[in-house]
Each structure stands twice: as structure tokens, then as C-alpha cells.
Structure 1
């Protein structure tokens, strides 16, 4: 039985990938990019962008997947309007579900009240990519 995207993402996370890398790399089977390149590109988005506990890395990974799947890769064939629409939908749905986009708020770093754990944010981000991009 083939692993689900969520299972792949969780396995990556458990093996040491950050949240952004885990979400993005889970979709490698349908992306036109190699794993070392995607891993490297997503590295700085971990722990809320460079460890600054800002935008959730799992969400950043989801937006990266949307971009990789919808961008034409060329300025001559503008696809950014569609990519922005999909990204906005991902961000809005993540915010609605988790009541924050900020890593330190989601993890409860300052408040002591976690809203969502990293593994659950990863799961949410993967499922939202599947929902918004109509992937199975």
C-alpha cells in the first residue's frame, strides 16, 4: 500500500526534517524537483522562518507546493495570479482551523497555551494542500 502524503510528511519530520521540509518533500512524487534541492530551499523556513518563530513552517511548505504545482516557471506565461489565489486559500484555511499563522503562538511559546503541535500543523498543511489543489 502506498503511503499517504500525511504519512510521508510525518516520517520526514520524525527523521529530522523541519516542518517546511516535511510538508514540501511529502509531495516529491508529484513535483518536478529533486529532493536535495527542495530540502535546501525549504531549510530556512523551519521553526517559523529561520528559527524566528514567525510564519508556521508547515504552512510555508504548503505554499511552496502550491507554487511548484501551479507556476509556469516563466514570466512569459504568467501564473502568479492563480498561485496567489491558491496560496491565499491555504493561508486562510490554516488560519481558520488553527487560529494563528505564527509558530510561537501555535506552539504556545509565550502564552504557555499551545494551539497546535508541529505534527498536527504538518498534518493540517498537507491535508489543506490536498483539498485546495484537489489531490488524492
Structure 2
């Protein structure tokens, strides 16, 4: 009797770690009637995802078009731009001839310059004097 009890204890000690390692591989038992209930329709799921992706592509294209419209010359997000090297234009359509004051248009802001670092930034017929443009001597 003692011998059988020792064998049983030894078997349990050896088998317990082995069965603990296999717990992740054990599948729950199900009644045969429930097998069809958990089947996934992969084709339907794929079509759903494809439709969702198409909707996202359409939305992305619409947003890109809207952004392009806003940021083009004259678009609502562009406040001013240089139409020519001496003409500043706002997105509302107002125009400012920078050459009338002797300056050129500053391409980053789209506004007429108010000070310069070289004569290249003055309108034609003007030269830099310290930091502003003056008419060329005749």
C-alpha cells in the first residue's frame, strides 16, 4: 500500500509540471451543435474591410483637394503672395504695388518689404541706402 501511494505521489509530481506546460494547447470542449456558431465568414469580413478602406481613400482624396484649394494662390488660407517681384496681392484680391514706395515684394510673407539688406530687394530704379530703398541718382 505504501508502495502504491509512493508511485502515485511520484507520478503526480512528474506529471503536474508536464501538464502545466500543455495548458496553452488545450482547447475547450464544445457540444457538436455549437461548432457552426463560431465559424467566421472571412469573405464577408474582407469585403467589409475593403469597403471601409475605399471610404477612407475617398475621404482622404476629398481632404487633400480641400487643402490644395485652401493653400493655392488666392486660396482662403493664403493671406498674401507676390504675384510679381513688386506686386503684393491678398487672397481677397487686394493689390499693393510695392514699387511705388521703392521696395520689392517679400516672397515668404507676400507683403511689400519695409527694409532691405541689399539693392536686389529694392524695386527697379531704386538702390539700398543703409536699410531702405532710395531712387537711383540720375
TM (norm. structure 1) is 0.18
TM (norm. structure 2) is 0.18
- Comparing both structures, which one devotes a greater share of its residues to helix? 1
- Comparing both structures, which one devotes a greater share of its residues to strand? 2
Which structure has more RCO (C-alpha within 8 Å, separation ≥ 6)?
Answer: 1
The structure with the largest alpha-carbon Rg is 2
